[in-house]
Amino acid sequence: MRRFSWINATALTLGFAFLYLPILILMIYSFNASKLVTVWAGFSTKWYGELLSNETFLDAAWVTLRVAFFSSTLATVLGTMAAYVLVRMGRFGGRSLFSGMIYAPLVMPEVITGLSLLLLFIGIGLDRGVFTVILAHTTFTMCYVSVVVSSRLVSFDRDLEDAALDLGATRAQAFFYVTLPVIAPAVISGWLLAFTLSLDDLVIASFTAGPSATTLPIRIFSAVRLGVSPEINALSTLMISAVAVGVITVSLITKRSAIKRAEDAHKASA
């Protein structure tokens, strides 16, 4: 067994510092009393109060949450269906083309995706707004859901489905009562990944959003171009805290589920 040397410790420390030190500095300066983000003038929470009274940021945050929720939900449904077809339907005509179209957004530059969607919406006469942003985000997040769910379906024990079919269940019943509960962690992970990607997207949203559908990343980018304000630091801190709470919550739920499954397996074997 290799020992944890000082070289490994140094490399690990530098790596974590490179990743998380800027975030820590941002969070600290969100409590800065000064309007200048580079000059510390004492502890204050006034920027959080001003942020909560800033209708511009609040409206953008509400638009972003709506877009992320609906696009991730739609992407999860479509991505799960696509993954099921790719894994379970075997070889069929056009399978290579279908899989290529599913996975293309993974390697396609976001500028190209955003521009092509913009030209599509203009060509069909669809006004840009919340609906077009939802469609755009569904397009590029669906492939991520498909990859996550496909990896789980590949390792899924199909004998469970066969047993349900032998007991009289239909294909649909076997999927919803046997397959879906087993692959549910992958489906939830895909939804969370799609939700996060939608929250973070700037490039595609900037092409497909209209004046009435300004998302939070677009609003932040526009504000930062004029200079970083303490409100941006406060907003970023709130977003980081929300993500951290979500990750910890999901981790705890997953850990409890794993412990419960282990206990049930132990009781069944006993």
Does residue 185 form part of some domain? Answer: yes
Looking at the fold, whether 140 and 195 belong to one and the same domain comes out as yes
Q: How confident is the model at residue 3 (pLDDT cuts 50, 70, 90)?
A: low
pLDDT of residue 2: 60
Looking at the fold, whether 137 and 174 belong to one and the same domain comes out as yes
Report the pLDDT averaged over residues 22-47: 82
pLDDT digits (tens, 9 = 90+) for 146-158: 989 988 888 887 7
Looking at the fold, whether 68 and 201 belong to one and the same domain comes out as yes
Looking at the fold, whether 66 and 24 belong to one and the same domain comes out as no
Does residue 180 form part of some domain? Answer: yes
Q: Where is 137: in which H helix or E strand?
A: helix 130-154
Domain interval for residue 31: 8-44
Indicate whether 164 pLDDT > 60. yes
Long-range contacts of 83-92 (CB under 8 A, 24+ apart): 83/145, 83/146, 83/147, 83/149, 83/150, 83/153, 84/149, 84/153, 84/175, 86/146, 86/150, 87/150, 87/153, 87/154, 88/153
Write a three-state SS string for 93-111.
CCHHHHHHHHHHHHHCCHH
pLDDT digits (tens, 9 = 90+) for 224-268: 777 777 888 888 888 888 878 877 887 787 788 778 777 776 776
Looking at the fold, whether 95 and 169 belong to one and the same domain comes out as yes
Structural domains in the chain (count): 2
| Cβ atoms of 150 and 157 closer than 8 Å | no
Does residue 50 form part of some domain? Answer: no
pLDDT of residue 145: 92
Looking at the fold, whether 103 and 172 belong to one and the same domain comes out as yes
